[in-house]
Amino acid sequence: MRSPLHLPACRPAPQSLSLATGSATGYYYRLGKQIKTSTEETVKLDLTVQESNGSIDNLQRLLAGKVDFALVQLDVAQESLEAGQVEAIAVLAREHVHVISRGQAPEGNAPPRELDDLRDRAIAIGTPGSGIRFTADQILAAARLNTPQLLAQANESGFSEALDLLSAQPLESGPPESKQPSAVFYVGRLGASERLRQAFVAEPTLTLLPLSPSLINYLSTQKPGIYQPALIPSGTYGVSPNIPDRDITTLTTPTVLIARPDADPQIVRLVTWSVIATARQYALFYPELQDGEPEQLLRQKLFYIHPSAFQVYEQGDPRLAWVRYWENNSDLQAGIFLLLGTSVLGMLLQHWRRRRSQHLVNRTLQRISEISKTLTNDPQEALREIEELSQDNRLQFIAGSVPDEIYAQVQQKTETFGDQCRSVLDTQRRTLVLDTLLLLDDWQETLQTDPEAALQKLSQIKQQYREMLLSRQVDIQAYMELMELTLMSVMTLAPKQGQ
Residues 6+ away with beta carbon under 8 Å from 247: 231, 232, 233, 234
Of the listed ranges 26-30, 225-229, 343-347, 351-355, the one predicted with least confidence: 343-347
* H or E element in which residue 171 lies: none
When pLDDT is cut at 50, 70 and 90, the band that residue 282 belongs to is very high
Q: Hey, which CATH number is domain 17-93+255-315, 3.40.225.10, 1.10.1060.10, 3.40.190.10, 3.30.70.360? A: 3.40.190.10
- From CA 312, how far away is CA 373, in angstroms rounded? 20
Sequence spans of domains, the chain: 17-93+255-315, 95-254, 319-417, 426-498
303 φ, ψ (degrees, to nearest 5): -90, -40
The string of pLDDT tens digits covering residues 234-266 is 998 887 788 888 999 999 999 999 999 999 999
* pLDDT number for residue 15: 53
The two beta strands, 87-102 and 183-189, are: antiparallel
Residue 420: what residue type? Answer: Q
Residues 6+ away with beta carbon under 8 Å from 190: 94, 96, 232, 236
Question: Among candidates 254, 250, 222, 248, which has minimal Cα distance to 234?
Answer: 248
Q: Hey, which CATH number is domain 95-254, 3.40.800.20, 3.40.630.30, 3.40.190.10, 1.10.260.30? A: 3.40.190.10
The string of pLDDT tens digits covering residues 109-158 is 678 899 998 887 889 999 888 899 999 999 999 999 888 888 888 888 88
Residue 403: what residue type? Answer: P
pLDDT of residue 90 exceeding 70: yes
Which runs of consecutive H residues, i.e. helices, occur in 193-293? 194-202, 213-222, 265-277
Torsion angle, CA of 112/118/121/124, rounded to 10 degrees? Answer: 100
Contact 129, 72 (CB under 8 A): no
Pick the residue with more confidence: 288 or 356? Answer: 288
When pLDDT is cut at 50, 70 and 90, the band that residue 55 belongs to is very high
* pLDDT number for residue 6: 40
Same fold, 17-93+255-315 and 95-254: yes
pLDDT of residue 324 exceeding 80: no
The string of pLDDT tens digits covering residues 165-214 is 988 866 444 444 456 888 999 999 988 888 898 899 888 889 999 999 99
- From CA 72, how far away is CA 465, in angstroms rounded? 37
Contact 273, 266 (CB under 8 A): no
